[in-house]
Amino acid sequence: MPQRNFKRILLKLSGEALMGDQQFGIDTETVTRVAEEVKLAREAGFELCLVVGGGNIFRGLAAADQGFDRASADYMGMLATVMNALAVQNALEQQGVDTRVQSAIPMASVCEPYIRRRAMRHMERERIVIFAAGTGNPFFTTDTAAALRAAEMQCDALFKGTSVDGVYTADPKQDRTAKRYDSLSFDRVLSDNLKVMDASAVAVCRDNDIPIVVFNIRERGNLARVLAGEGVSTIVE
């Protein structure tokens, strides 16, 4: 992706990005490295806010498949994202980065509630805001929360950190002939049902002109490289 004039970025970190090589939960070393990436990007002059997922701890849909009530399971999933948000906050603060966690489900003793204007103010003061508890509503995902917060915070782009370096014609882990797209349109992603983010998230980005950049967060230094227009990624716009 060539360098763009992105200044304010929403970084979506899936729960998996915090899991390292483990099968479950939070890997401290991985969280520290991800926090380093965020710190480097901020030092390079970018304004960042984060949405963290919870799939490394609990997924509502998977639990519902096993008989849980879907809405209750989704609330549990949202609580899982709060745990991840606190882990990322802790890692960032250990590296001297000022952060605030804001939860879409108010949890006064743990973190701030989500208040848009307050989040804006934190960003103006160069704090990194970590948005937790997704949208606060069951039947949604943190991808949609990321798109929503990116629009609310007037971000120039949504960066989705995953374990692959972009969007492929097929799953590159299964199909060796799969090719990576450099760029794609929102409509193509939706019509071909490409697995970038869920459809509601893609639609929110499309309707608000927020490009989605898919890149590999597992490679050290990659966030800074992609932001500088040097790394490998796919841009959806």
| Binding-site residues | 12-15, 54-55, 59, 74, 135-142, 162, 168, 171
Binding mask 119-148 for ligand UDP (x = CB under 6 A): ---------------xx-xx-xxxx-x---
Numbered residues of the known binding site for ATP: 12-15, 55, 59, 162, 168, 171
Least Å distance, CB 70 to ligand UDP, is 8
Please give the residues from 8 up to 37 whose contact with ligand UDP meets the rule CB under 6 A.
Answer: 14-16
CB within 8 Å of 174: residues ≥ 6 apart: none
Q: Cα 180–183–189 angle (5° rounding)?
A: 85
112 in Cβ contact with 100 (< 8 Å): yes
Q: How far is the CB of 203 from ligand UDP (least distance, A)?
A: 15
Nearest Cα residue to 90 out of 110, 120, 116, 118: 110
3-state secondary structure of 24: coil
Residue number with CB closer to ligand UDP (137 or 183): 137
Give the residue with the Cβ less far from ligand UDP, 61 or 190.
Answer: 61
Residue 26 corresponds to which tokens in the numbers above? 């939070």
Helix (H) or strand (E) holding 232: none
Q: CA-CA distance, 129 to 49, in Å (whole number)?
A: 5
Residues in contact with ligand UDP by CB under 6 A are 14-16, 53-55, 59-61, 73-74, 77-78, 80-81, 134-135, 137-138, 140-143, 145
